[in-house]
Chains A and B, each alone.
Chain A
């Protein structure tokens, strides 16, 4: 089970996000874009006439060979976006273009043909595998269905795939319950690779495995990407893992992308209060740093209650959200603050500047709410 854990050179291409109005004629998108979401929405109707806007006007492009990281809490809509991208679910509005084809217009048969090129790895390694089938049968099924492979040809390919994900060939005869979580997740990855896809959606693929195994799987995924030229959509709630895996990152909150950009730019200068809150909440294996956490600001995730229907959706949890009428009335749009780095916030700023504001407002009996515009110091914020 030795992993080819080499230091891998990063693939040199970045994703670029776009605002809805930029995306006319996406079919003619440049060949280095493999998948794009174009003002994508998915709403669910509830009994009583209410509507859940699970995904609400999301646009982005995934470049060939990159890892596009989608991060957010449960309920942010990140998994729904992943499913929409694979057309496992139909969007309420908007389009998904994969490799130049508008998936939202495809019929069932064409869609099935298209699915070969796009695969999915699930979160729960046990739940994703049929417990009554052996590993060989599990990995062999797509080979049979899509490629019509039989007999020795199929067996050879199965061995190849097992080897690729670092599993010994004898494991082919095992059932899922006879394997560990890490091994099952490798089987899930092997199955996703069976048809030689270009694009793989990893939906919380390492969230359910232990720390030590997680590192193995992350390294395996990066190694496979290098060797096979794969493109990943990496969905996770863990910002640290998303940072490690991705070239481009989009942070989702309540069905919207609230901040996005090239990995380094976003992590060096995060500007949305929600991104700050996700970052500051990650537990660090350092006792001194952890104890100091309570002094840092972590948003009121629990107590916030319902998501506001007007204005900024994050404002109930935001330390600045009640400071301006603008937050209550105007829904912030994604605005480019530096090349490809976009933020949907009326008052984007660093965590330090939020901390300073908070300490000031508690000092001054919290009445210094009128001077909000002075928050914005970054000159380039003004242009779009």
Chain B
């Protein structure tokens, strides 16, 4: 699937130097997202991976303009040629109703517990399309069937608490699809689910994305989930994209030391049980207390003096990927020989 890259390279969404800041009572504002840029083509599956606090979810919310104010938004988010950050709230609501959908991590709190799921899906359908109530209901039933909810005719009258976790997430996906969006943003869609259910939901998402030729941004902390789904992965650390790479290259030869460390820390089923799991020492930095130079340098096993003082710029490697590391070029040439 993912070897099939952007069909004819039609950029759908262009994110250019996006930053999100919050003012504080005392002192400088904090900016948990600091100049994030990427582009998303039609049919492309982009992954954003990173630890909690890296700014990945906030990036998603900022794209949808759902960050709670007061907030300083910088940069541009171009959907086709419209800058979403400049739209009026009303126009932005229309973009959310027609073009971009968001799937949240926790379906239980994202769904309204006092309305049936049918009512909630129908609402999404009617926001996007000018159809009768009856027609909307028929579409809602089709959507539920499409996401694999058994007996959709009956289940449309059920309340969220009557569904299992996996089924609830399917309902969320159905709701997100109700508007026939062009862009689907899935923020940790399977984190709250059991592994077996997660595998099924990711399979479903994969099929739906292929069927509808959607552009997807998958936000996850799970490198395994990203590996199977995405064709391009952005690794986020301390509010910046520190490595951007086609999925196969990233997993075969991570260039940025943080990407390498993240991959190394995964506890796999075939891990050597007599050895300690490789871990990343220290903690991810807080947005108001960023280290000087490269933000990863206090935790980086390869850090030099230069890293503590000089902020790295993105270095392009092999034309298709980049890493924000002073030694990206050297590391890229070494890692393609040695690994680890």
A2 interfacial by beta-carbon distance below 8 Å = yes
A216 interfacial by beta-carbon distance below 8 Å = yes
CA distance A58 to B196 in the complex (A): 23
In which size bucket is the chain A interface? 35 or more
Q: What is the CB-to-nearest-CB distance from B166 to chain A, in angstroms, rounded to a whole number?
A: 4
CA distance A283 to B148 in the complex (A): 21
B266 interfacial by beta-carbon distance below 8 Å = yes
CA distance A287 to B245 in the complex (A): 13
CA distance A243 to B218 in the complex (A): 29
B6 interfacial by beta-carbon distance below 8 Å = no
Report the nearest B residue to A210, measured CB to CB.
B51
Q: For residue B194, which residues in chain A have a CB less than 8 angstroms away from its CB?
A: 73-74, 237, 301
Among B69-77, B99-107, B134-142, B197-205, the stretch in contact with A? B197-205
* Residues A240 and B267 in contact, CB atoms below 8 Å apart: yes
In which size bucket is the chain B interface? 35 or more
From the candidates A9, A282, A300, name the one contacting B269 in the complex (CB within 8 A): A282
From the candidates B2, B275, B278, B283, name the one contacting A291 in the complex (CB within 8 A): B2
Over the window 195-222 of chain B, the binary record of Cβ atoms lying under 8 Å from chain A Cβ atoms (1 yes, 0 no) is 1111111110010000000000000011
Among B25-33, B223-231, B309-317, B320-328, the stretch in contact with A? B223-231
Report the nearest B residue to A74, measured CB to CB.
B194
A215/B278 contact (C-beta < 8 A), A180-B283, A287-B228 known: yes
A293/B228 contact (C-beta < 8 A), A211-B221, A277-B196, A302-B197 known: yes
Q: For residue A281, which residues in chain B have a CB less than 8 angstroms away from its CB?
A: 195-196, 198-199
A244 interfacial by beta-carbon distance below 8 Å = yes
Over the window 1-40 of chain A, the binary record of Cβ atoms lying under 8 Å from chain B Cβ atoms (1 yes, 0 no) is 1110111111000000000000000000000000000000
* Residues A285 and B268 in contact, CB atoms below 8 Å apart: yes
Which residues 16-74 of B have a CB within 8 angstroms of A?
A: 51-52
A164 interfacial by beta-carbon distance below 8 Å = no
* Residues B224 and A303 in contact, CB atoms below 8 Å apart: no
* Residues B268 and A240 in contact, CB atoms below 8 Å apart: yes
Report the nearest B residue to A5, measured CB to CB.
B276
B114 interfacial by beta-carbon distance below 8 Å = no
Over the window 239-280 of chain B, the binary record of Cβ atoms lying under 8 Å from chain A Cβ atoms (1 yes, 0 no) is 000000001100100000000011101111101011111111
CA distance A86 to B282 in the complex (A): 33
Q: For residue B277, which residues in chain A have a CB less than 8 angstroms away from its CB?
A: 214-215, 218-219, 244
Q: For residue A219, which residues in chain B have a CB less than 8 angstroms away from its CB?
A: 276-277, 279
Q: For residue A279, which residues in chain B have a CB less than 8 angstroms away from its CB?
A: 269
Q: Which of B263, B273, B281 has the most CB of A within 10 A?
A: B273
Report the nearest A residue to B201, measured CB to CB.
A302
B96 interfacial by beta-carbon distance below 8 Å = no
* Residues A287 and B148 in contact, CB atoms below 8 Å apart: no
* Residues B195 and A212 in contact, CB atoms below 8 Å apart: no
From the candidates B203, B251, B269, B279, name the one contacting A212 in the complex (CB within 8 A): B279
A294 interfacial by beta-carbon distance below 8 Å = yes
A283/B227 contact (C-beta < 8 A), A214-B265, A244-B271 known: yes
8 residue pairs, one from A and one from B, having the closest CB atoms: A283-B224, A290-B228, A215-B279, A212-B280, A301-B196, A73-B194, A215-B277, A302-B166
Interface residues of B (CB under 8 A from A): 1-2, 51-52, 148, 150, 164-167, 170, 194-203, 206, 221-225, 227-229, 247-248, 251, 261-263, 265-269, 271, 273-284
